[in-house]
């Protein structure tokens, strides 16, 4: 042996964990899916067998998504309100679906990045 993996056991290909998280793939190998549902993280990777049960992102992804999705919608609504003074029902009709759509679109990749950062920094170990 030359200092690598033992004979017969291949090391998984290394992938950039942030990219894997954004693509919702396993941050260890990049091959298997990261989620079994909309936001439910798989217990083990199908491709490399990495154990995700010890990782927990908590509400971290939701906090970031609220900030990222909420800021442009709130400031855009404030600008439109000051500049054009539309009725409140028109503001709600535009702003609520926009913030809901942005939140739903960003939640899965954000949680994937949080899991990928935990894998990269080995926070589940110990």
pTM > 0.75: yes or no: yes
Residue 100 to residue 19: CA distance in whole angstroms: 24
- Lowest average pLDDT, out of 6-10, 43-47, 50-54, goes to 6-10
Q: Single out the residue of 110, 89, 101 nearest to residue 39, CA to CA.
A: 110
Mean pLDDT, range 96-124, rounded to an integer: 91
Residue 71 to residue 63: CA distance in whole angstroms: 12
Q: 23 pairs with which residues across the strands? A: none
Q: Specify the 3-state DSSP secondary structure of 35.
A: strand
- Lowest average pLDDT, out of 2-11, 18-27, 82-91, goes to 2-11
Residue 58 to residue 100: CA distance in whole angstroms: 20
Q: Specify the 3-state DSSP secondary structure of 4.
A: coil
pLDDT (0 to 100) of residue 8: 46
pLDDT (0 to 100) of residue 65: 95
Give the residue carrying structure tokens 């994937």.
112
């Amino acid at each position: 042996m030359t200092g690598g993996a033992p004979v017969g056991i291949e090391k998984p290909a290394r992938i950039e964990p942030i990219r894997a998280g954004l693509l919702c793939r396993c941050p260890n190998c990049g091959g298997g899916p990261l989620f079994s549902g909309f936001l439910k993280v798989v217990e083990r990777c199908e491709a490399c067998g990495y154990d995700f049960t010890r990782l927990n992102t908590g509400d971290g992804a939701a906090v970031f998504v609220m900030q990222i999705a909420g800021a442009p919608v709130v400031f855009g609504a404030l600008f439109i309100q000051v500049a054009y003074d539309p009725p409140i029902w028109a503001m709600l009709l535009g702003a609520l679906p926009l913030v809901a759509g942005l939140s739903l679109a960003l939640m899965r990749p954000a949680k994937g990045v949080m899991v990928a950062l935990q894998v990269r920094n080995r926070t589940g170990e110990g």
